[in-house]
Amino acid sequence: MSAFVSGVRAVVLVGFMGAGKSSVGAALSRKLGWPFEDLDERIEAREQRTIEQIFRQSGEAVFRQLEHAALRSLVDEAGPSPKVVALGGGAFAQANNAALLADAGWSTIFLDAPVDELFRRCQEQELKRPLRRERAEFQRLYDARRPCYLKAAVRIETGGKDVEEVADETIKSLGLTIG
């Protein structure tokens, strides 16, 4: 199964931690028949350490440099075939990354949900998130990043929806058809 592409070179999922970027990305990949790449996984493979280890050993500033380099290489490697990409929670909040994606002509989708639901999802996951802290700090970070996320081409509410629903809504919002 593959999608008929209507000028979409890549679907890039952006949003806060717990929004479902990786889960929805995998579902989109399966539904569209496009390859899927999680930027955090690319960084971990290149660095041979986890995101948490990078933050702890090298700091956030070094991580953001590695993140931009990984995104640049992903864009530079892009061939004619479309792909699905999930960014880490802070990637799209960095102006250089947002500009790189805009210059590449890649479609950005902001997956959003109420902050209480995002916090609950993060607590339920076993994934270590270096910037997930207590509830008030979580809210402040979300509030600081949300204006950046709102610059994405499309915003999709994920609150109370399952992954398949969000994937279908994303496909519809981009005018893609599966066939």
Say which CATH number the domain at 60 has: 3.40.50.300
128 falls in which pLDDT band (50, 70, 90)?
Answer: low
When divided into structural domains, the chain yields a total of: 1
Domain interval for residue 39: 3-178
**Concatenated DSSP letters of 79-100:** -SS-EEEE--TTTTTSHHHHHH
pTM of structure: 0.91
Q: How confident is the model at residue 178 (pLDDT cuts 50, 70, 90)?
A: confident
Residue 135 backbone class (left: φ over 0; alpha: ψ -120 to 50; beta: rest)? alpha
pLDDT the model gives residue 72: 97
